[in-house]
Structures are given as structure tokens and as C-alpha cells.
Structure 1
Amino acid sequence: MLPDPERKLLRILINYPSPVHKSRMPDFRRLEMMTGRRRPDLLIGLHYLEDQGFIVWPDKSTTEGILIIKTEVLEKSPPKRNNIEYWTKY
């Protein structure tokens, strides 16, 4: 499971490209604004995502070449228990 800052960064990279944004990745300035992190922290996060195999980042000077290889597998929460035990077992 990814640490929270890297998971947030990955979610932004996954969800940002759209017809509104002309299917491109956000630049560093936009990532700084969206994550609340400075460029050195973003670089550390992007390198971490690349090392873990979530992205491919060939040109380290720009974010335009980032390709997402896999999305994180979200852990499912356990199924909710039925509330009937509360009412039948005093």
C-alpha cells in the first residue's frame, strides 16, 4: 500500500487527463497547487512511484511524458455485519 502523499499524487495523475485538460499531465506548478507540496517533495514522490512500478517517467525535467502503468489496488473494507445481533442478544 502506498503512503498517503504518494497515493494522492498517483490519484491526481490518474484523474487529471481528460477532454477538459486536453489529455495531458499537469505541470509541476499545477501539481504543487493540487498537492500542497513543493517541487523537491514532488520529485521524491514521483521517483517513489516510478521505483514501485506505478509510473514510467522518461523525461525527468517535465511531467508531460509520465505514463501510468498500474493503478493501486485498493483494499476492500470488511463486509458490514448485520445489526440484528444488537436487537436479539441482550
Structure 2
Amino acid sequence: MLPDPERKLLRILINYPSPVHKSRMPDFRRLEMMTGRRRPDLLIGLHYLEDHGFIVWPDKSVTDGIQIIKTEELEKSSPKRNIDYWTKY
């Protein structure tokens, strides 16, 4: 499970590219505004995501080259369903 700041950063990176944003990643200034974190903290978060295999970030000076490899949903297990309530009562 990802820590909250890194999970938030990953969610932004996953959801940001769209036709409205011309299918590109947000720059550092935009990430600072969206996360409320400063650039050094963002760099730490991006390195954390890269070290744990969530993103690939070849050019560390810009965010345009970030590629998402996996999302945190892959780590979650499926919810357990309790159907006994509906079948036995």
C-alpha cells in the first residue's frame, strides 16, 4: 500500500492526461499546485513511485516522459462479500 502523499501523486499522474490537457503529464508547477507540495517533496515522491515500480521516469528534469506502469488497484485484494446475511436470515 502506498503512503497517502505518493498515492495522491500517482492518482494525479493517472488522471491528468486527457484531451483537455493534450494528453501530457502536468509540469512541476502544476503538480505543486495540485498536490500542495514543493518541488523537493515532489521529487522525493516521484523517486519513491519509480523505485517501487509504479512509474518509469527517464528524464528527471521534466515530467513529460513519465510513464505509468501500474496503479495501486493492482495491490488491493477483491472485497469479501458476505452473502450469508441475505441467504440465511
Deviation at 1:73, TM superposition (A): 2.1
Deviation at 1:86, TM superposition (A): 12
- Structure 1 stretches (4+) deviating beyond 6 angstroms? 74-81, 83-90
* Distance of 1:36 and 1:25 partners within structure 2: 17
Normalising by structure 1, we get a TM-score of 0.83
Deviation at 1:43, TM superposition (A): 0.0
1:9-36 deviations in Å (ceiling 9; x for gaps): 0000000000000000000000000000
For residue 73 of structure 2, give the secondary structure of its aligned residue in structure 1: coil
Normalising by structure 2, we get a TM-score of 0.84
Backbone CA RMSD of aligned residues: 2.8
Counting matched residue pairs gives 89
Q: Which has the larger radius of gyration?
A: 1
- Tell me the percent identity: 92
